[in-house]
Amino acid sequence: MKLARSKNGSLDPVQGATGLSDPTHGARHVAIIMDGNGRWAKRRHLPRALGHKKGVEAVRNIVRVGGEMGLEAMTLYAFSSENWNRPQEEVSDLMGLLRQYIQSDIEEFVENGVRLKVIGNYKALEPDIVAMIDNAIARTAANSRMTLAVALNYGAQDEMLRAVQHIACSVAAGDVTPEAINIDHISGALDTSDLPPLDLLIRTSGELRLSNFLLWQAAYSELYFTDTLWPDFDQSELEKALQSFGHRERRFGGR
C-alpha cells in the first residue's frame, strides 16, 4: 500500500495512486533541480545563452502541466547562491531571462490561479528585478490552484542558518526555551513553511547530487534522477517521474 503524509501529519493511503484518475500519483509537492541547459546547447554547437532560453521554455511548459495535473506546489531551483561564481556574462543572461519570464508570464499566473512564491535571498538581486518579483507575488497572493516556488539566490545551508538565527532570536526574547525547540520550530522557520511537505525531488541531466537544495525538506522525499537535459524535460518526462513515485512504498522511517 502506498502511503502519503496528510496535512495533519498522519500517514494515510493514497486513493487512486496507481490509476489514471490521479496523474500526480498522490504527490502534492514536487521540486526540480533544473540542470543541463549548458550541455544541451553544447551538444548542438549553440551558445549557452540559447540553452538557458530553451530552459525557460521548459519551465513555462512544466508549470502549466503541473497545474493541469493537480499538483499543489512545485519548487524550481532557478539560481543558487553559488551561481554568482559563474562568468558575469552568463549571470547577466540569466537575470535578463528572469526579467522576461516574469513580464511575459505574470498574466498567465493570474488567469490560471498560480501563486508565485520565491525562496532564498532574492532581495539581494538588482532593484528592478526585486520590484518585479514583489509585484508578481502581490498580484498572485490570493491564487490557490497551485503554488510555484522559485528558488533564487538560494542555498539550503543558508536557509537552515537563517532558520536557526530566527529561533535563537525567539529564545533570546524569552518566547521559547531551548529545551522546547522541536522539529516544527525548525520547519516553521524555513522558507517553505507554508508549502506541503516535499514528496518528490527530481534532478535532470544525470547528475546524482542535491547541490545544496532543500536539504531539510528532502529528508523523507523520494528522489528521481534522469539523464534527460532540462530543456528536453516535458510532460512525458514529468509523468515518468510521477509514475516512479507512485510505485514506491513510503515508510517515513517506519516499517
Three cell numbers, residue 39: 550541455
Return the amino acid letter for 34.
Answer: M
Kindly report the backbone phi and psi dihedral angles of residue 132, in degrees, each rounded to the nearest multiple of 5, phi listed first.
-65, -45
**Catalytic residue flag (residue 105):** no
The reply to whether 35 belongs to the active site is yes
Query: Active-site residue among 8, 12, 22, 35?
Result: 35
Which of 61, 83, 121, 143 is catalytic? The answer is: 83
Question: Looking only at Cα atoms, what is the longest distance across the chain?
Answer: 60
Dihedral of CA 155/123/190/69: which sign? negative
Helix ranges, the chain (H): 37-43, 48-69, 88-112, 127-140, 156-172, 183-189, 235-246
**DSSP assignment, residue 127?**
H
Helix/strand/coil for 110: helix
Interatomic CA distance for residues 122 and 79, integer angstroms: 10
Which of the residues are catalytic? Answer: 35, 83
